[in-house]
Chains A and B, each alone.
Chain A
Amino acid sequence: MIKTAAVVGAGVSGMQAALSLADRGVKVFLIENTSSIGGIMARLDKTMPTLDCSICILSPFMLAVARNPMIEIMTLCDVVGAIKTEHGYNLEVLKRPRYVDLEKCTGCRDCMAKCPGKVIMPFEENFGRIKAIRFDFDQAIPAVPYIDKDACLYFSKGICGNCVKFCQKGAIDFEQQEETLNLEVGGVFLATGSRPYLPFDKTEYGYGRYKNVITAMELERLLSASGPTSGHVIRLNDKKEPKKIAFINCVGSRDLRTNRGYCSKVCCMYGIKEALLVKDHDPEARVTIFYIDIRASGKGYEEFYQRAKNSIRFIRGRPGELLELDNGDLLLRYEDTESQQPMEEVFDMVVLNSALVPSEGSEQLAKMFGIPLNEYGFFDAGGDPASPISTDNDKVFIIGACQGPNDITDCVSQSIGAVAKTYSIYGDVVERESKELPGTDKENPRVGVFVCHCGKNIGKYVNMDEIVEYAKTLPDVVYVEDSLFTCSESGQKSIKEKIQELDLNRVVVAACSPKTHENTFQEALVEAGLNPYMLEMANIRNQCTWVHSDCENESTEKSKDLIRMAVSKARLLDPLFEREVDVRQSCVVIGGGVSGMASAVELSRSGFEVSLIEREDHLGGKSYVTDPKYREIAKHLIDSVTSDENIRLYLSSQIVHVDGFVGNFDLTLDTPNGEVNANAGTFIIATGYDFADPSVDGYVIGGPVIAEEELVRMMDEERLAGKDFTFILCAGVRNKAHPECSRVCCISALRQIKRIQDTVPDANITVLYQDIRAYGYYEDIYRQVSENGARFIRYSPDSLPSIDANSKSVGVYDTTSSRTLKIGFDLCILERGAIPSRGTNELRQLFKASAAPTGFFAEAHLKLAPLDTAIDGVFIAGACQYPKTVEESLSQAISSAGRAGIIMGSGKYKVQPTTASIDEAKCVACGLCEKLCPYKALKMSEDGKHMEVIEVSCKGCGTCAAFCPSNAISMKGFTYQQEKEKIKALLRGVAK
């Protein structure tokens, strides 16, 4: 058994898969062909629909990958060969030279400042010069630049060499050569993603010819504060701010002419996001989006779209062509499908919302690992929804957008599922070694101060001798040293030696940022036998010499202040320890639909005990309303669940009480046999959805007006009569009561329509819709049923169709022909939307979990933690989060089981050392902290006399400590005394 894995591609999917595998004790080689991990998400300005700063939420994630001892990041690497072995694969990896030594480089960027290299990227050149030695983006990891050989004067002309001259670490190495590495791995996880299509062959839009036609990805870089224009949107030809901007949707997707019939799923939403950001940057800008359907079918997407309508103009139509005018403006010709008139309009800038297409190299990888490609060139998972990432090859898995266009949420969710595969490949849990942190004497502080020159980055801008002499005068400081690079091997060696030699028990490092280097120095402390939390850093580089480089006196004074502050806090530092709590190896799954059953089966397969709770007297949830294909899956799952000894089934039962915390929950069940007490290590909530009530929209079910489930029954029982069928979409949703889009009804309707077309050849099918949201490959079904004659009529939410059941007709105002139509039917099928299932609120309160505005369960983070709730150990799966298709639900259910499995697998849950703690004597039990804590990490003691911290749930934000009116809460690592001392030290001698 080889307990190693290769993850190919280090975008958000690859990183998540790597973290999940590492959490299970699998050693991961994370192979990335660019110079940094991060993928497309690292290049985005914001993410939709929350407008989170993309790099802000991704950076901590990237750092977690970089710091994980089980993950080896291999950048500038390509898999070039693969030989299947008995235990997995023998991979041949080609490592391209970076020309900068990863070990030696400190990321100071002196080389970049001195590099005269020219630009090569056609897009960026109009905005600024790109250096030959560079980062692809500011927050790159590894934080070491690379040399672009094509742009480098040394490589092209044998001259320059500035980077060598100015690098104080001697980290530049022009002699680096390509290397071939061999890796033995047990499994291969391909997460190569997709890439934005460059629409050169859509010649009608003039991309590449017209200066002011750019792609959405390029606009994203312009919007980004760390992009080439520092966040200014300007035109390429005259650098003016565009005042009138058009976005064109579906460029290169839903487009058979470019052989891309699929919908790219993300473009509608990123287009709206960018449009809003443009407005945010320049409120006077006028923005128009040209669209076919707005596919706002994720959580919060529809609400985001509706909000955008206030400030963005939406025109339904696909522009036919663009013409460039002399001043760089663009004449856009289109047919307004609502007025059916040919129109012309001039814009300052046109943004093409281009498709996502397969990553380069997909074909070679597919060939290498024997994975079929679908007709669009993406990896084909084979279409078994019950195993969403598996291929025919049992050692190779495909994750994320390499299967087809996908958004961040769904990629992350799917990638966590990689962990479930570790059980089949790697067998039993691999024990991780847990290190005991050394303790440290609290009394008698002996502080050592280590000041770093960072080459010249610090040393050049301050009077170092003065700083060193000053530090020696500070209280309890017994040793001060300055070195060229404190982070280097020799610098760290010196820290360790001095700790031991001089019995230091506090260390202050005055150098760069704790965000990048705290870990490095903490490790040095541990190696020298000191508790890692006895370290305090003074950031005299990023926040001093680099930003005050023309005032040596002030920089020197500020450095002295920062060191004095650090020493003052260091004297009061306490050793902190990681505790572990035992975790029960059992999971309670709530909800016996496909999601809950899939989670239960997956958990059982991984060796955990499962209790499956269903309030109805049967399993299967809403699978009865779907296609026979999905009902087969449900039936199979029911068989598995009922025959599985590891799964205890509680039908007609509900949870009435929950207590405890991750790893140690206690619960009470109300069952037909009375109350049952049980316990659990983790929970998975999979309570699904209910149908919206169509009567709020004036639709009444009865007679020839039926819900989809009745149609399904009719077809199953072969009693479908008549040939005129009218579908009404969005019944009961996208209205005031339920403004959200239910995501699944369009797709479900299209499947039923296809089934009717297959069985009733002369059927007349009419679909009344607002937008057809057939995202991704579902577009193929939409196209098929349209080609087979289904008629689609678009109505406006302001004028809903009116059904007359007696005359079997429906009146509708057709927004395309601007006429009111009367359509006769034999059957009128209502596609009811989805709303939170009944009881969701009560269940939420039992767990103290939060809700989204729509009433569905809220996840911890929509993009990066879609399966977690804010409560540790409680996960969500399927449509209780927001409506999902069966495929999506199954994929998430398997992943949630994986998440729960990671916690239970090792039997221990690590409590982070920096938590809040309560001084019981001071606490007056007011309960304010309990209300404030978003993680429910505080509770009243049993005797009601004081509050208690549930350390395992605490994330260490310190909000409770800041608010405690009786100062009874101490935030470890940032205590009141420590911080007050720091403020005092900062302002010493000021108040006279």
Chain B
Amino acid sequence: MSFEPRIVAFLCNWCSYGAADMAGTSRIQYPPNVRVIRFMCSGRIDPNFVLEAFLRGADGVMMTGCHIGDCHYIDGNYKTANRYEFLKHYLDILGIGADRLQLEWCSAAEGLKFAQSVTAFTERIRALGPNPLKEGGK
């Protein structure tokens, strides 16, 4: 059986979740590998959530939020952007690989962009292969 990546996406309520909904109303198709978890703000994405997902076998994780400057809570997404940088660093150290984490800004009008990012990310993870933690078994 071919490898089907498991992808977890954390979305903020105001922009990126709106984009995902809009991809739906516009019927823009993308691969069914992604599962969405909604927060009010991308600032809520606890690094532990990202690590938890990888430890439990996710092949890729997306962090998404409003464009810089558009955050509904003033500056939550700036903090998300910083956290993304250090998480990438740790994923490399852990041997999971920074490539498996993606940060994406989508406005509520960018249904197409959301679908395209999910598609591109799914393909990237497909090329990378399964989460190396899974192979060792847990």
* A interface list, Cβ under 8 A from B: 45, 50-53, 55-57, 59-60, 107, 109, 113, 138-139, 224-226, 230-231, 513-516, 539, 541-544, 546-551, 554-555, 557-558, 561-562, 565, 860, 870, 914, 932, 934-935, 955-959, 961-963, 971, 973-974, 976, 979-980, 982-984, 986-987, 990-992
In the complex the two chains form, is B108's CB within 8 Å of A139's CB?
Answer: yes
Query: Which A residue sits closest to B36, measured CB to CB?
Result: A543
**Selected A-B contacts with CB under 8 Å, 16 pairs:** A60-B72, A138-B22, A542-B20, A542-B21, A546-B23, A546-B24, A547-B27, A548-B29, A549-B29, A561-B35, A957-B43, A957-B73, A958-B44, A962-B43, A979-B46, A992-B57
Chain B residue numbers with a CB within 8 Å of A53 are: 15, 66-67, 70, 107-110
Decide if B53 touches A983 in the complex (CB within 8 Å).
Answer: yes
Residue of A nearest to B27 (CB): A546
Residues B40 and A914 in contact, CB atoms below 8 Å apart: yes
Which residue of A547, A870, A914 contacts B74 across the interface (Cβ within 8 Å)? A870
Determine the distance from Cα of A550 to Cα of B53 in the docked complex, in whole angstroms.
28
- Cα separation A991 to B110 with both chains bound (whole Å): 33
Are A932 and B79 in contact (CB-based, < 8 A)?
yes
- Return chain A residues, CB-CB under 8 Å to B44: 957-959, 961-962, 971, 974
Q: How far does the Cβ of B87 sit from chain A's closest Cβ, in whole Å?
A: 12
Q: Is B13 on the interface with A (CB-CB < 8 A)? A: yes
B129 CB–A CB distance under 8 Å: no
Contacts of A992 in B (CB 8 A): 57, 134, 137-138
User: Which chain A residue lies CB-closest to B115?
Assistant: A547
Check A59 against B137 for contact (C-beta < 8 Å): no
**In the docked arrangement, what's the CA distance between A107 and B24, Å?**
12
Question: Is B29's CB under 8 angstroms from A138's CB?
Answer: no
Q: Which of B32, B40, B72, B113 has the most CB of A within 10 A?
A: B32
A230 with B109: in contact, given A51-B69, A547-B24, A979-B37 (CB under 8 Å)? no
* B99, CB-defined interface residue at 8 Å: no
B85 interface hit (Cβ, 8 Å): no
A957 B76 Cβ-Cβ under 8 A: yes
Whether the pair A50, B39 counts as a contact (CB closer than 8 A) is no
A935 / chain B contacts, CB cutoff of 8 Å: 74
Instruction: State whether the Cβ of B133 lies closer than 8 Å to any Cβ in chain A.
Output: yes
- Chain B nearest CB from A498 CB (Å) reads 25
Which residues of A lie under 8 Å from residue B36 when comparing CB positions? 539, 543
| Residue count of chain B within 8 Å CB distance of chain A | 63
Provide the residues of chain A in CB contact with B26, threshold 8 Å. 138
Interface string of B33-75 (1 = CB under 8 A from A): 0011111110111111100110111100000001101101111
Complex interface: chain B residues within 8 A of A982 (CB): 37
The residue on B at minimum CB distance from A137 is B109
Residue from B21, B49, B115 with most neighbouring chain A CB atoms (10 Å): B21
Which residues of B sit under 8 angstroms from A59, Cβ to Cβ?
14, 18, 108
- Distance between Cα atoms of A954 and B75 in the complex (Å): 14
Asked if B112 is at the interface of the complex by the 8 Å CB criterion, the answer is: yes
B101 at the interface (CB under 8 A from A): no
Chain A contacts for B37, CB-based, 8 A? 565, 979, 982-983, 986
The answer to whether B28 has its CB under 8 Å from any CB of chain A is: yes
A951 to chain B, nearest CB (A): 16
Q: How far is the CA of A430 from the CA of B47 in the complex (A)?
A: 47
Contact among B17, B31, B58 with A990 in the assembled complex (CB-CB below 8 Å) = B58
Q: How far is the CA of A555 from the CA of B31 in the complex (A)?
A: 10
Pairwise interchain contact A957-B41, C-beta atoms closer than 8 A: yes
In the bound assembly, the distance between CA atoms of A980 and B31 in angstroms comes to 24
B residues in contact with A971, CB < 8 Å: 44
> B28 and A547: CB pair below 8 A?
yes
Q: Contact string, B110-131, partner A, CB cutoff 8 A, digits 1/0?
A: 1111010000000000000000
Query: Once the chains bind, are A109 and B25 in contact (CB under 8 Å)?
Result: yes
Complex Cα gap A2–B137 (Å): 72
Q: Which single member of B30, B43, B113 contacts A225 (CB below 8 Å)? A: B113
With A514-B38, A957-B40, A991-B138 in contact, is A56–B70 under 8 Å at CB? Answer: yes
| Contacts between chains A and B (CB distance < 8 A), count | 191
**CB of B100 closer than 8 Å to a CB of A:** no
Name which residue of chain A comes closest to B110, CB basis.
A225
Shortest distance between the CB of A147 and any CB in chain B (Å): 19
Residue pair A955, B108 in contact (C-beta under 8 Å) = no
Nearest chain A CB to B14's CB is how many angstroms away? 6
The verdict on A513 contacting B29 (CB below 8 Å), with A225-B112, A983-B52 known, is: no
Q: Are B48 and A987 in contact (CB under 8 A)?
A: no
Q: Which residues of A contact B110 (CB under 8 A)?
A: 53, 225
Are A976 and B13 touching (Cβ within 8 A)? no
In the complex, what's the smallest C-beta–C-beta distance from B123 to chain A, in angstroms?
Answer: 16
Q: Judge if B81 is at the interface, Cβ distance under 8 Å.
A: no
**A959 contacts B79, C-beta separation under 8 Å:** yes
Bound form: Cα–Cα A50–B107 in Å:
14
* CB neighbours of B67 from chain A (8 A): 53
Contact across chains for A990 and B70 when beta carbons are under 8 A apart: no
Residues of chain A within 8 A (CB-CB) of B45 are 962
**Across the interface, do B18 and A56 meet the contact criterion of CB distance under 8 Å?**
yes
Q: Kindly state the separation between the CA atoms of A961 and B47 in the bound complex, as whole angstroms.
A: 11
A107, A565, A963, A984 — most chain B CB neighbours (10 Å): A963
* Distance between Cα atoms of A60 and B112 in the complex (Å): 20
Which 10 residue pairs across A and B have the least CB separation, nearest first? A542-B24, A958-B44, A959-B43, A991-B57, A990-B57, A53-B107, A957-B73, A957-B41, A987-B56, A546-B24
Q: Point out the residues of chain B lying under 8 angstroms from A870, CB to CB.
A: 74
> Which B residues touch A546, using CB under 8 A?
23-25, 27
Assess the B14–A56 pair: CB atoms within 8 A. Answer: yes
CA separation between A557 and B35, bound complex, in Å?
11
- Bound-state CA distance A565–B110 (Å) is 26
Q: How far is the CB of A315 from chain B (nearest CB, A)?
A: 30
Contact partner, A958, options B18, B41, B53, Cβ 8 Å: B41
CB distance from B53 to the nearest CB of A (A): 5
Q: Is the CB of A225 within 8 A of B107?
A: yes
Most chain A CB within 10 A, of B17, B24, B45, B53, is at: B24
- Say yes or no for B96: interface residue by CB 8 A criterion: no
Chain A residues, CB < 8 A from B109 = 45, 53, 55-56, 138-139, 224-226
Residues of A within 8 A of B13 (CB): 515
Assembled-state Cα–Cα distance A870/B17 (Å): 24
**Which residue of chain B has the shortest Cβ distance to A982 in the bound complex?**
B37
| Contact indicator A976/B18 (Cβ below 8 Å) | no
Which residue of B is nearest A107, CB measured? B25
By the criterion CB–CB under 8 Å, are B134 and A990 in contact? Answer: yes
Given the complex of chains A and B, what is the CA–CA distance between A516 and B57 in angstroms?
A: 32
**Least CB distance, A470 to chain B, in whole angstroms:** 16
In Å, the complex CA distance between A3 and B62 comes to 50
Known: A565-B37, A958-B41. 15 other contacts (CB 8 A): A52-B69, A56-B18, A59-B108, A60-B14, A139-B22, A139-B109, A225-B110, A513-B17, A542-B24, A542-B25, A544-B32, A547-B29, A549-B27, A959-B41, A959-B73
A599 vs B6: C-alpha distance when bound (angstroms):
57
Bound together, the chains give a CA A548 to CA B134 distance in angstroms of 27
Contact indicator B40/A991 (Cβ below 8 Å): no
B17-A515 in contact (CB<8A): yes
A971 to B41, CA, bound (A): 11
* Highest count of chain A CB atoms <10 Å: which of B27, B53, B56: B56
* A675, B110: Cα distance in complex, Å: 55
**Which residues of B are found within 8 Å of A959, using beta-carbon distances?**
41, 43-44, 73, 76, 79
Q: How far is the CA of A542 from the CA of B16 in the complex (A)?
A: 13
In angstroms, Cα B48 to Cα A225, docked, is: 34
Shortest CB–CB separation between residue B55 and chain A, in angstroms? 7
CB distance from A857 to the nearest CB of B (A): 15
Chain A positions within 8 Å of B40 at CB level: 914, 956-958, 973-974
The listed residue (A539, A544, A561, A991) touching B55 by CB distance below 8 A is A991
In the complex, what residues of B have CB within 8 A of residue A226's CB?
A: 22, 109, 111
- In the bound complex, what is the Cα–Cα distance between A107 and B21 (angstroms)? 13
The complex places the Cα of A961 from the Cα of B70 at a distance, in Å, of 21
When C-beta atoms are compared, the residue in chain A nearest to B12 turns out to be: A957
In contact, B49 and A979 (Cβ under 8 angstroms): yes
Which chain B positions have C-beta within 8 A of A547?
A: 23-24, 27-30, 32, 115
Q: Is the CB of A565 within 8 A of B32?
A: no
